[in-house]
Amino acid sequence: MPDALSGLRGPEHGVVVLDHHLAWSGRREFDLDDEYDCAALYKIVLEEGVEDDICRLLNRNLLLRRWADLIPARQVRALWENRFPELRNLRPSPRVA
């Protein structure tokens, strides 16, 4: 886990291909511009990644925009929200009908 959210310097748009050690049993390509893909990639990286993976693949702005919509394991969410209290009060993004 990084010391600060500013350490998250991953891409904000485009397709990301995960390394085998993160996506060892399934899909490896995720489009960050697709809500479902982005949430799936962030869940994998938050739960399975080491600090280098997290800093290289996650983007601070995207994490802040999507945090409330992400569904990582309960322990992972608690760990991140304890380390970065600014994440606790973020609200889900409005849904378009």
35 secondary structure, DSSP code: H
Q: What is the pTM of this model?
A: 0.90
CB contact set of 28 (below 8 Å; sequence gap of 6+): 17, 18, 20
**Phi, psi (5° rounding) for residue 25?**
-130, 15
Residue count of the chain, please give it: 97
What pLDDT sits at residue 90?
A: 81
What pLDDT sits at residue 32?
A: 97
pLDDT, tens digit, for every residue of 41-58?
Answer: 999 999 999 999 999 999
